[in-house]
Amino acid sequence: MSTGAVEHDQKSNSSDIAIPIMVNGCTGKMGKAIIKAANSAGLHIVPVSFGAEKESGLTVEMCGKEILGHGPSERESILASVFQEYPNLVVVDFTVPATVNDNAELYCKVGVPFVMGTTGGDRDQLYKTVEESKVYAVISPQMGKQVVAFLAAMEVMAEQFPGAFSGYSLQVMESHQASKLDTSGTAKAVISCFQKLGVSFDMDQIRMIRDPKQQIEMVGVPEEHLYGHAFHLYHLTSPDQTVSFEFQHNVCGRSIYAEGTVDAVLFLAKKILLKGMESFPLRVPANEKLVKSKADKRIYNMIDVLQEGNMR
C-alpha cells in the first residue's frame, strides 16, 4: 500500500494533532455520524477506511477530509502501514455483522486497539480472539450513554435480586431501521438480566420489526426517523395476570451512539497510551508513540466507560 495519502494528511496538519481514529464502515450512516462527532471533539480522522469490496478505491469527503476506502483485499498490509504512521491509532468498527470476527482478528493480528460497535458475529469467539492477542478493546452492543446507564441499573437489579420475577412471562419487541440485519444486542443484554431475575425467555422469541409501515402504525416511529431509530419494549406479566411491568427505551437518530463511541475512544486511549499523567490531554502528537501503560484488564465495555466518569 502507498501511504502517500496518510503522509500528505499528516504534513498538512500541525504536529500537535489529536488522538488518531480510523472509522471502518465510514460510508454508513453510523460511520458518518461518528466522524462528525469525532471531528467536533477534536479527534484526528485518519483518511483511510475499510468497507465492502465495491467501496475499494472510492474517496468520500467528510468534515472537509477525503477518506480513501479499501475493500477486503490487502487489509493487513494497509492497516499495518496506517498503524506505523499513527502509532497511537484507535480503530472504530461499525461495519456489518458478517465481518465482525474477521475484522477483530485483523485488528488483533496487527496489534491495533479498537472499539467494536458492530453487533452480531460470534461474540464468544470475538472475546476469545481479543483475550489471546493482548490487544485492548472496548466491545459493546450499545454505545448510547443513557441506555448504557439503564443497562447497568438492570444488571445491578439482576445481581441484587435474583429470581425476583420468577414465573413472570416476558414479551419483547424491538424496532430498528430495515438495514439492521441482526437482532438488537441491547435487547439481548436486557433479556439476560431478566433471565437472572427468574424469567424464562428464549432469544428467538424477540419480535423484530423492520417493516416501515408497521413501525409507523404499530410502534409509533416518527416517519423522519424510519431510517435511523432504535425502539425497545419489554413487557412483564405475573402468572395470574394481575401484575404487569413495562420497560421502554426509544432512540431516534444516531447522535447518542456517535457521542458514546467518541467517549469510548478517549477512554481506551487513556487506558493504553498514557502513563504517569493524572489527566488526559485531548491533543497529542499523532506520529509520536507514547509510553504505554499495561492495565491488567484489556477488554472493556461501555459500562466501564460510564463507571470511570469518561462521559463528556
Catalytic residues: 176, 180
64, three cell numbers = 472537509
> Across the chain, which distance is largest between two alpha carbons, in Å?
70
Handedness of CA 32, 37, 40, 44 (dihedral sign): negative
Please give the DSSP secondary-structure letter assigned to residue 171: E
Q: Could you tell me which of 208, 260, 257, 252 has the C-alpha nearest to residue 229?
A: 252
Helices (H), 136-208: 145-160, 185-196
Q: Could you tell me which of 120, 115, 152 has the C-alpha nearest to residue 258?
A: 115
Please give the DSSP secondary-structure letter assigned to residue 18: B
Report the distance separating Cα 113 and Cα 111, nearest Å.
7
Number of residues that this document lists for the chain: 312
